[in-house]
């Protein structure tokens, strides 16, 4: 076991499959552990390189294993897939992760901090509410159109829906359904507004985000402003954004 230099972990909800290799790529051990057993195992294991796919729970596990003195690396699943051998199973996946991490040109994902993960969750919640809001608006348009009524396009028309319904002769039960949808729309719109205020408040303390807001067409909820990406990839995002609005690469350097 002391020969192990790299350990690949195939992550799961409750069980984890480990594959350990030495510096020559020879398999040393394979283990199937529960969550608590995994923590106890690495707490007493000698410092080595631990590699996982960058998926659900990977960032939390990376932060935890780093406290034990291990070097933790995360790989995008798309880069692991070519190294999976036939008769795919969890141990084969863990071996493929080790194989992919051994490549000298492999690109790794930077582990997120707790604050970055929390902000990422906030952005995903906002995106979910926006989709639901759009779906609710479309449903109201569709129901009215089935009864020969065309609701004007735009949020202003949806906001005055009760007054709009009073101008048309529609079945009472349909009106009740549309009123319920309208109440749901107002709830979603209110939640989106609250989340955007929270994002703006966090952005006020982000120096890089404030600089990015000077880019034409850039808004606070854009992911580049939120700190969801960091390091070299964030700089690439800045350059790409400048190119999309017709700025030069040199002009983007001052925002890095």
Question: What residue numbers bound the domain in which 15 lies?
Answer: 6-101
| Predicted pLDDT of residue 256 | 46
Number of domains in the chain: 2
Which of 44, 78, 101 represents a domain boundary (last residue)?
A: 101
| Predicted pLDDT of residue 231 | 47
For 120, counting Cβ atoms within 10 Å of its Cβ (0-12 exposed, 13-18 middle, 19+ buried), the class is middle
Residue 167 three-state SS: coil
14 and 88 inside one domain:
yes
97 and 143 inside one domain:
no
Is 106 domain-assigned? no
Is 62 domain-assigned? yes
| Predicted pLDDT of residue 246 | 53
Q: Residue 176 and residue 137: Cα distance in Å, rounded?
A: 16
**DSSP-assigned letter for residue 246:** T
Is the separation of the CB atoms in 41 and 31 below 8 Å?
Answer: yes
Blockwise average pLDDT, block size 10, the chain, 256 residues: 90 93 91 94 94 92 95 94 86 93 92 87 93 94 90 86 87 92 95 91 71 69 51 50 50 47
Which residues have a Cβ under 8 Å from the Cβ of 70 and sit 6 or more positions away? Answer: 42, 45, 47, 48, 49, 50
Is 158 domain-assigned? yes
Is 155 domain-assigned? yes
| Predicted pLDDT of residue 253 | 45
122 and 51 inside one domain:
no
Is this model's pTM higher than 0.75 or not? no
Is 108 domain-assigned? no
| Predicted pLDDT of residue 240 | 54
What is the CATH number for 69?
3.30.420.40
């Amino acid at each position: 076991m002391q020969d192990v230099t790299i350990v690949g972990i195939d992550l799961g909800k409750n069980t984890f499959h480990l594959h350990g290799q030495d510096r020559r790529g020879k398999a040393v051990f394979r283990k199937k552990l529960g969550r608590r057993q995994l923590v106890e195992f690495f707490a007493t294991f000698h410092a080595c390189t631990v590699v996982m796919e960058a998926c659900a729970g990977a960032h939390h596990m990376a932060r935890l294993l780093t406290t034990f003195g291990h070097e933790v690396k995360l790989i995008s699943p798309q880069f692991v897939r070519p190294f999976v051998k036939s008769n795919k199973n969890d141990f084969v996946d863990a071996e493929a992760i080790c194989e992919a991490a051994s490549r000298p040109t492999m690109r790794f994902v930077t582990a997120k901090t707790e604050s970055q993960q929390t902000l990422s969750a906030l952005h995903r919640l906002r995106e979910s509410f926006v989709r639901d809001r759009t779906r609710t608006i479309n449903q109201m348009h569709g129901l009215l159109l089935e009864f020969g009524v065309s609701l004007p396009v735009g949020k202003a028309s949806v906001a005055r829906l009760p007054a709009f319904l009073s101008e048309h002769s529609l079945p009472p039960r349909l009106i009740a359904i549309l009123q319920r949808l309208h109440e749901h729309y107002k709830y979603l719109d209110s939640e989106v507004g609250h989340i955007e205020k929270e994002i703006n408040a966090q952005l006020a303390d982000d120096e890089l985000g404030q600089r990015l807001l000077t880019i034409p067409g850039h808004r606070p909820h854009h992911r580049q402003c939120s700190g969801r990406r960091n390091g070299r990839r964030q700089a690439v995002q800045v350059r790409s954004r400048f190119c999309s609005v017709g700025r030069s690469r040199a002009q983007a350097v001052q925002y890095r």
